[in-house]
Amino acid sequence: MHVRAKRLVGLLVAPVLGGCLLAGCVAGSRAGDDGQARSAQVQRARQVADAWRGSAAATAWSRGFYPMADEVQVPASGWHSRADEQAYETGNFALRGDLPAATTGQGKVEWASGGTLTRPLWGARKAYGSFARNDSAGSRLTVTGARLGTTAITTSRGTATVPAWLFTLDGYDSPLKRVAVSASKVPGAPVAPAREGAAGGLRIIPRLTGTAPDGRSVTVRATHGACDDGPVVGALETDASVVLYASVTGARDGACTAQLIEQDVEVGLRRPLGDRVLLDAFTGRPVTSADG
């Protein structure tokens, strides 16, 4: 899924602070954050990390197929114009050709490190509908056909080759690709969610929007309001997990319009994410590329 959120100026990069502690390394946060609130956030992050360690949920996660990158991959050449990019961002597509008939059965996920898994296969029309949400006036991208092929994608278990629908776009030599197999069901958290307003003002992290090629950073969707200076996301790293804790900085008292602004935040990690599970401190659940 592509980014549809309102974007503010650039990305906020959470700097690495603090040293490595027994339970993990604490990264992120921003200078000036309230120390007591941050302490509560880190305490909650440790609670989540401890609950996941050796849990049935962790075992289920280690055996599933969970994309950690966008399941829709734009043409290799990139967009030819800003108008085409905006059409993609708003899901404005026109279908001017026939799509293959509904496909049933299973598709195979093959990891570069070894191991395979079969997952339900998507039909071309379902795959098309996952990114083509509009067909309105203005700039549109035109799909003229599709065929079933493969693509590589970053997952919670490393890079995998998976079935993908390759959509032909008018004016483009390379296709738009959409992963054609369903992700595994995300296991329930082995810990209850934090209480609203507790744990130092923690906020939910809706979804993952990207993982750096070297795994040394992740970009996640975070939220804030109209009367603060924006979101900040920290990371508690252990050998088995990376727990992200999100809050806002510079919150101001007084009258404020009711807005929920979404913004992408890049969080640096002390070492590559690898096969460590990425978790949200508020919910205790994995952070995935699916819309939250």
Which sequence spans correspond to the domains of the chain? Answer: 12-63+187-280, 72-179
Helix segments in 3-95, DSSP class H: 35-52, 56-63, 82-89
Tokens 């009711």, residue? Answer: 258
The model's pLDDT over 259-286, given as tens digits with 9 standing for 90+, comes to: 777 888 999 999 999 889 999 999 999 9
Q: Which CATH code for domain 72-179? A: 2.40.128
Rounded CA separation 10/113 (Å) = 35
What DSSP string describes 239-289? Answer: SSEEEEEEEESS---S------EEEEEEEE-SS--TTPEEEETTT-SBP-S
pLDDT at 248: 77
pLDDT at 189: 95
pLDDT at 261: 76
pLDDT at 253: 65
Cβ atoms of residues 34 and 202 within 8 Å: no
Q: Look at residues 162, 144, 4 and name the one whose alpha carbon lies nearest to residue 71.
A: 162
Question: Where is 130: in which H helix or E strand?
Answer: helix 124-131
pLDDT at 56: 97
Q: Quick one: tokens of 169?
A: 């776009």
Pairing of strands 141-155, 93-95: parallel
- What is the mean pLDDT for each group of 10 consecutive residues in the chain (292 residues)? 34 34 41 71 95 96 92 95 95 94 88 94 95 88 96 93 97 97 94 81 88 91 75 93 88 68 90 94 91 48
pLDDT at 263: 86
pLDDT at 24: 44
